[in-house]
Amino acid sequence: MRAIYKKELKSYFSSMMGYIFIFFILLVTGIYFTAYNINSAYPKLDYTLNAVLFMFLVAVPVLTMKILADERRLKTDQLLLTSPVNVWDIVLGKFFALVTIYAIPVVVICLYPLIMSQFGTVSMFEAYTVIIGFFLLGCADIAIGVYISSVTESQVIAAVITFGVLFVSFVMAGISQFFSTAAVTSLICYMVLVVILALIIQNMFASKTIAVAVGAAGEIILLVVYAVKSTAFESGIQKFLSIFNLAGHFDNFASGILDLSGALYFISIIGVCMMLTVQSILKRRWN
């Protein structure tokens, strides 16, 4: 893992990519920090870091697009996959290299509370809680980018898809308001999801019977639960969609709460993305 970690880190700093990423993050946060915290003398970082989250939509795809797609295009993955290293080591080595690059501007952001404390009282605990949440959110975004880079050979496609996914996640709070909170809306949405699940199963296992069985069982369970206790479905679709709302899980951190469930959420997102990345690399060998 160390070999790959070192190599990635070196490659990002021998090309412009690493510097551009760091520069961009520092530029955007610096502008908002100056506007909100210095000029308006607001003593907390919550508004500042909440306002800059849009920059991940651009910065993360640019950072992650080549990480695995390029290995495949240049066929250097032949070296990695025929060397005595585990696929997990390859993926984690690359992910941690990206996290390290991202950690550099975050360390600089850690100086902001110290700067603010020169001019008044600042709650250090709250300030650093916001920064921890900000760091975790960025890492989760990077993990998504790493996964998407592993499914394609083209950097451009990887960047565009990553942007799309992060964008949808970014506006998820708004999307979930399209749906009414009534129980019947959730029921219909869940039923559609079960159908999609059944289609995925049919695609994966090429078995119609399993797909139909799962689909039918799912629909029946949904209808039974709805008949028995329809209140369980109220605003259900909103809850479901909030799983994909990464920025929403940053809200508690932003209000200065060290939110363990939020941290666990981000770590789970990272874990799931890493697992999917490993699977997509392993799966390619069978095609």
Partner 1 sequence: MIEVKNLVKRYGNHTAVDGLNFTIEEGRIYGFLGPNGAGKSTTMNMITGYIASTSGEVLINGCNILDDAEKAKKYIGYLPEQPPLYFDMTVREYLQFVVELKKVPKKERETMIEEVMDRVKIKEMENRLIKNLSKGYKQRVGLAQAIMGYPEIIILDEPTVGLDPKQIIEIRELIKELGKNHTVILSSHILSEVSAVCDYVLIIAHGKLVASDTPENLSRKAFEDNSLELTVKGEQEDIVSAVESLEYVDSMTVKESKEEGCVDLSVKTQNLEDIREELFYKMAELHHPILRMQYIRATLEDIFLELTEQPEDVDRSGLEELNTESGEEEDHESDL
Joined together, the tokens standing for residue 41 give 């003398």
Contact 172, 75 (CB under 8 A): no
List all residues 6 or more positions away from 74 whose beta carbon is below 8 Å from its beta carbon: none
Contact status: 3 vs partner 1 (CB under 8 A): yes
What residues between 26 and 55 interact with partner 1 by CB under 8 A? none
Which listed residue (4, 122, 142, 187) binds partner 1 by CB under 8 A? 4
The count of residues in the chain is 287
* Shortest Å, Cβ 76 to partner 1: 4
CB closer to partner 1 out of 1 and 225:
1
Q: Of 128, 130, 126, 135, nearest to 106 (Cα)?
A: 135
List all residues 6 or more positions away from 14 whose beta carbon is below 8 Å from its beta carbon: none
Contact status: 279 vs partner 1 (CB under 8 A): no
CB closer to partner 1 out of 229 and 284:
284
Contact status: 268 vs partner 1 (CB under 8 A): no
**Residue 82-101 contact track with partner 1, rule CB under 8 A, x = bound:** xxxxx---------------
Contact status: 15 vs partner 1 (CB under 8 A): yes
Q: Of 240, 234, 244, nearest to 185 (Cα)?
A: 234
Which listed residue (31, 79, 192, 264) binds partner 1 by CB under 8 A? 79
Output b/e per residue, 117-152; b: 16+ Cβ within 10 A. Answer: eeeeebeeebbebbbbbbbbbbbbbbbbbbbbbbbb
CB closer to partner 1 out of 7 and 235:
7
Angle (nearest 5°) at CA 268 between 144 and 20: 35
Alpha-carbon distance of 68 to 90, in angstroms, equals 10
Identify which range of 71-79, 195-203, 215-223, 268-276 contacts partner 1 by CB under 8 A.
71-79
Alpha-carbon distance of 23 to 17, in angstroms, equals 10
Which listed residue (75, 121, 178, 203) binds partner 1 by CB under 8 A? 75
Contact status: 80 vs partner 1 (CB under 8 A): yes
| 231 sits in which H/E element | none
CB closer to partner 1 out of 19 and 167:
19
Contact status: 81 vs partner 1 (CB under 8 A): yes
Joined together, the tokens standing for residue 281 give 């690399």
Which listed residue (7, 38, 195, 214) binds partner 1 by CB under 8 A? 7
* Shortest Å, Cβ 31 to partner 1: 32
Identify which range of 6-14, 144-152, 183-191, 256-264 contacts partner 1 by CB under 8 A.
6-14
Binding site residues, partner 1, CB under 8 A: 2-4, 6-7, 10-11, 14-15, 74-86, 285-287
